[in-house]
Structure 1
Amino acid sequence: MTNFYSFHGTVTMISDFATGQNGTSEGCYKLISVENGLGESVNFVVSPSTYFVDHAVVAAGDRVTGYYDGDAPVPLIYPPQYRALVMVKESPYQNVKVDYFNSQLVSRDGRLKLNLSPFTQILLTNGQPFTKSPANRDLIVVYGPATKSIPAQTNPYRIIVLCSSF
């Protein structure tokens, strides 16, 4: 179970990120700089294992949310630099939540409860169907409307199960 934290803002720059691995990974890692409009900035290190929801291609000027492990060590530099686990390009037609969901399918922060329907796609990160229960797992939930209750309830469009530990 990963302790997901997020940062939302506008991409200001994308550049190659050198890892120092004898050139074998040259060009495979990117540094995405994001600013939230309040003067706060974050650099996300994007690796080949970073999951981009909808396989969206991100460019400067796009609104994004980057998710990272809040318990992972980070270098003490400014702006902060986090290893991106999941990146979401903002879309007016869908919401995305990345979190651990318990046996009742309520997110760890208690803000979202999932009501599965026969139309809910439950997939692995490689796009293959996931045939077990998504309960008690780290999930990427793509959904539309939700109730205004606490927790908000929704019938998600798609659930991506994060089986591997980051």
Structure 2
Amino acid sequence: MNLQSFSGVVMVINDFYTGQNKDAGCYVLMTVDNGRGNVVNFVVEPTTYFVNHVKVHVGDRVTGFYDADAATPMIYPPQFRAVVMSKDSRRENVKVDYFNRRLQSSDGTLQLNLSPQTEILSTNGQYFTGNITERNLIVLYGATTKSIPPQTTPHKIIVICS
């Protein structure tokens, strides 16, 4: 997965019709505006992971993470299937990316240093006991060093099992 992100304010939340009556109410379309003239529609599916299981409302600042390699309709505004949604917080940073064997993000902007206190879970909330390297991870962390790349000791990691 080639995970990319888009951040902004939720402007509209509507039901999203998939064409299947059994899916009514299970899919949502969130319109997000970054305040600089860019708008994205995120299709929120039953499998979309919400960081900290928060509920998102119109007016909230969010970041949506999507697979940039997935097929998308050629429409405006762009419409992406949300893999992960995060409500922005001043107390906590969220990074969703592929982390290599050295636990460095694919874009080189974050290096993870694990501690015994780092909670490692799967998306279903259970403890993850496998190897977290060379995987897509949802990383929740506070401060980083000023080194290149910045380093952090995350307080929680959620492994995206595909």
The two structures share one fold, judged by TM-score above 0.5: yes
Distance, in Å, in 2 between the alignment partners of 1:72 and 1:161 is 20
Counterpart code for 1:143: Y
Look up the SS of the partner of 1:8 in the other structure.
strand
Partner in structure 1 of residue 38 of structure 2:
40
Distance, in Å, in 2 between the alignment partners of 1:157 and 1:8 is 22
Give the aligned CA root-mean-square deviation in angstroms.
0.5
Render the CA deviation track for 1:68-88: whole Å, top value 9, x for unaligned.
Answer: 000111111100000000000
Partner in structure 2 of residue 19 of structure 1:
18
Partner in structure 2 of residue 53 of structure 1:
51
The one of 117, 122, 133 equivalent to 1:124 is: 122
TM (norm. structure 2) is 0.99
Unaligned runs of 5+ in 1: none
Distance, in Å, in 2 between the alignment partners of 1:40 and 1:113 is 30
Cα distance, 1:39 vs. partner? 1.0
Matched, 1:110 2:80: no
Distance, in Å, in 2 between the alignment partners of 1:74 and 1:163 is 22
Distance, in Å, in 2 between the alignment partners of 1:5 and 1:60 is 22
Counterpart code for 1:11: V
Counterpart code for 1:73: A
Q: How many residues align?
A: 162
Partner in structure 2 of residue 74 of structure 1:
72
Look up the SS of the partner of 1:24 in the other structure.
helix
Distance, in Å, in 1 between the alignment partners of 2:23 and 2:83 is 18
Matched, 1:62 2:60: yes
Distance, in Å, in 2 between the alignment partners of 1:159 and 1:72 is 24
Cα distance, 1:139 vs. partner? 0.2
Partner in structure 2 of residue 135 of structure 1:
133
Partner in structure 2 of residue 152 of structure 1:
150
Render the CA deviation track for 1:2-31: whole Å, top value 9, x for unaligned.
Answer: 10011000000000000001x101000000
Render the CA deviation track for 1:95-123: whole Å, top value 9, x for unaligned.
Answer: 00000000000000011000000000000
Unaligned runs of 5+ in 2: none
Cα distance, 1:161 vs. partner? 0.3
Cα distance, 1:133 vs. partner? 2.1
Distance, in Å, in 1 between the alignment partners of 2:78 and 2:121 is 32
TM (norm. structure 1) is 0.97
Distance, in Å, in 1 between the alignment partners of 2:136 and 2:124 is 15
Identity level (%): 61
Render the CA deviation track for 1:46-67: whole Å, top value 9, x for unaligned.
Answer: 0000000000100000000000
Task: Please identify runs of 4+ aligned residues in structure 1 that moved more than 3 A.
Answer: none
Counterpart code for 1:113: Q
